[in-house]
Amino acid sequence: MRISKGFGLIAFIALLLLVGAYYFLLRTTDRQIRISSNPWVGFTPFIYAQEKGWLESTPFRFMWLVDLSENARLYEGGFTKGFTATQYELLHFKDQEHIKPVFLIDRSAGADAIMSNRSLQELRGFRGSIPVYLELGSLHEDIFKAFVKENKLAGLSFSFKDSSQKAIAQQQPKDAPKIMVSYAPYTTELSKLGFITIASTRTLRSLFVIDALFIDERIVEGREQDFQKLRAIFNLAHARLNSDPHEFYNVIHSYLEGQTYDEFMATVPQIEWLNHTDRAPYLRQFQLQNIATNQMLP
């Protein structure tokens, strides 16, 4: 009888511990703010901060992806509370009601590119269907539409191949003409394979591509200090890129799909950092695209 009672007491205590651990884990998870991101050059200060352990004292946890369309899937599935992306990704979301930009990161000035195994002039003269490898439902669909319009290519025949960035970076530039829409660091891989850049966010005049941190506004209120701290951490990491780029690269290089130090540094001028610049023109651009900016940090 004593043995039975003893086992019963042990089982009861174990159950209490299990329930306590579950609720502790639940509360810990609830306190976390999960953000999806990708190895875009402008987001690498977040990678650096994570690898240096600077985010451990904050509620922010980053989930690193490759494909731009994954932001929507994770947010809409409730796995994340925000994401780093351009305003064009946001405009592709089915439900944008509660998503607001919190702070600006960069403007793409060449690091998003349209690449091909043929020159633009050769493509103009081609009479067959040209396959276009890109992520449908993402910024790159908007980039391609702008490219076609600005270069008056509507008379050509294009067949769209919805592809992941990994699949795009493995295409070979042989045989028939093909077009790839990608971003750094994957454009580096395509260049190594022999693809050439025929347009980019530097040359396309009708696109104003801004990267920002977008968050569910319902978790920002009352946690403004947390987001201020995240922005300060980002700025510190960006300062490290400027002061010691070799050390910065060594910390983040495993995320860069094989980019060498020189290749990575060649992509840095292909964006315009916005963390220390007048943000008024960029906020006006958001407002022109009906993106509310009332949650932007001061």
pLDDT digits (tens, 9 = 90+) for 50-68: 999 999 999 999 999 988 8
* Lowest-confidence pick of 12-21, 35-44, 93-102, 216-225: 12-21
Average pLDDT over residues 224-230: 97
* Position 79 pLDDT exceeds 50: yes
| Encoded amino acid at 51, one letter | E
Contacts of 30 (CB under 8 A, 6+ apart): none
How much is the pLDDT for 10?
56
Contacts of 158 (CB under 8 A, 6+ apart): 129, 130, 131, 132, 148, 179
| Encoded amino acid at 179, one letter | I
Confidence of residue 18 (pLDDT cuts 50, 70, 90): low
Contacts of 31 (CB under 8 A, 6+ apart): 59
84, β-bridge pairs: 213
Average pLDDT over residues 199-218: 96
How much is the pLDDT for 45?
98
- The distance from CA 4 to its chain's CA centroid, rounded to whole angstroms, is 58
Hey, what domains does the chain have and what are their CATH numbers? Answer: 33-107+209-288 (3.40.190.10), 112-200 (3.40.190.10)
* Position 2 pLDDT exceeds 50: no
How much is the pLDDT for 66?
85
Which of 104, 114, 132 lies closest to 210, judged by CA?
104
262, β-bridge pairs: none
**What's the rounded Cα separation, in Å, for the pair 178 and 173?**
8
* Position 30 pLDDT exceeds 80: no
CA dihedral over 9, 14, 19, 20, signed as positive or negative:
positive
pLDDT digits (tens, 9 = 90+) for 90-142: 988 888 889 999 999 999 999 999 999 999 999 999 999 999 999 998 999 99
The pTM is what?
Answer: 0.86
Of 16 and 262, the structure prediction assigns the larger pLDDT to 262
* Position 41 pLDDT exceeds 90: yes
* Position 29 pLDDT exceeds 80: no
How much is the pLDDT for 16?
53
Q: Report the mean per-residue pLDDT for the chain.
A: 90
pLDDT > 70: what percent of the chain? 90
How much is the pLDDT for 42?
97
How much is the pLDDT for 70?
87
How much is the pLDDT for 94?
82
How much is the pLDDT for 1?
39
* Position 26 pLDDT exceeds 90: no
How much is the pLDDT for 44?
98
Q: 122 φ, ψ to 5°?
A: -65, -40
| SS3 annotation, the chain | CHHHHHHHHHHHHHHHHHHHHHHHHHHHHHHCEEEEECCCHHHHHHHHHHHCCCCCCCCEEEEECCCCCHHHHHHHCCCCCEEEEEHHHHHCCCCCCCEEEEEEEEEECCCEEEEECCCHHHHHCCCCEEEEEECCCCHHHHHHHHHHHHCCCCCCEEEEEECCHHHHCCCCCCCCCCEEEEECCHHHHHHHHCCEEEEECCCCCCCCCEEEEEEEHHHCCCCHHHHHHHHHHHHHHHHHHHHCHHHHHHHHHHHCCCCCHHHHHHHHHHEEECCCCCCHHHHHHHHHCCCCCCCCCC
* Position 156 pLDDT exceeds 50: yes
* Position 207 pLDDT exceeds 60: yes
Average pLDDT over residues 255-284: 95
Contact call for residues 39 and 256 (beta carbons, < 8 A): yes
* Position 293 pLDDT exceeds 70: yes
Give me the sheet containing 33-37, strands edge to edge: 60-64, 33-37, 82-86, 210-216, 99-108, 271-273
